[in-house]
Amino acid sequence: MAEKTYAGVAVSVDDEGYMTDPSQWTKEIATEIAKEEGIDITDKHFAVLDFIREKVASGAVLTIRSIGKSGTTDIKGFYQLFPGAPLKKATKIAGVAKPSSCI
């Protein structure tokens, strides 16, 4: 297991850069991870990230469809907020494990 430093804090990450301890996550860390992913984070991003963190903490399986039905954003909006690979990028920025549905 590796470590990376974000916002002056050393966090544990896996081989793909996903945080292994979600309790280490802060909004400052999320902002720095987002910058690495080429995303300028906004309040709308944080609303989606909060939804993702709540779902994962409750043990729910994350899908793009579930995020689209969250009321936080629709699927098109999700793709606009996290272009390219939205679920992979969003979960990485949210400080949770990569979903098993992502390759």
Six token digits for residue 49: 């990230």
- Secondary structure letter of residue 13 according to DSSP: E
Please give the angle made by the CA atoms of 58, 49 and 86, to the nearest 5 degrees. 110
Catalytic residue list: 102
Q: Whose structure tokens read 């469809």? A: 65
Q: How far apart are CA 57 and CA 45, in angstroms?
A: 18
Can you point out the beta strands (E) in the chain? 2-6, 9-13
